[in-house]
């Protein structure tokens, strides 16, 4: 069906677009009409980001403490280490 990317917390529009574009390029469209979701939650002071990826067959999450300008790259590298199915 689709890949949904949701943001929780305070995100500036540029960072949000960079991360969403990078995640969509990295993950692509889910197979077999499945719906996958990515939730990105910013810490209250912006000092961390929690990423939760949920597919039909697995779920994973990770905390990132990277500067917001480096998050897109860090998140896609993490996703790329363990291909989604």
Cβ–Cβ contacts within 10 Å for residue 53, how many?
23
Tell me which of 46 and 27 has the higher pLDDT.
27
Residue 59: half-sphere exposure toward Cβ, Cα within 13 Å:
4
Mean pLDDT of 64-81: 93
Mean pLDDT of 9-17: 91
How far apart CA 80 and CA 66 sit, in angstroms, is: 17
The per-residue pLDDT for 1 is: 58
pLDDT in tens, 28-41: 889 888 999 999 99
**The whole model's pTM is what?**
0.88
* Domains along the sequence of the chain with CATH: 2-76 (3.30.160.100)
Percent of the chain's residues with pLDDT above 70: 99
User: Taking 90 as the threshold, does the pLDDT of residue 68 lie above it?
Assistant: no
Q: What's the DSSP call for residue 56?
A: S
């Amino acid at each position: 069906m689709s890949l949904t990317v949701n943001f929780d917390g305070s995100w500036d529009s540029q960072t949000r677009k960079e991360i969403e574009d990078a995640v969509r390029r990295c993950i692509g469209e889910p197979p077999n009409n499945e719906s996958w979701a990515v939730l990105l939650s910013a810490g209250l002071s912006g000092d961390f980001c929690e990423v939760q990826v949920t597919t039909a067959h697995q779920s994973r999450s990770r905390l990132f403490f990277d500067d917001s300008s480096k998050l897109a790259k860090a998140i896609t590298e993490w996703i790329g280490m363990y291909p989604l199915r």
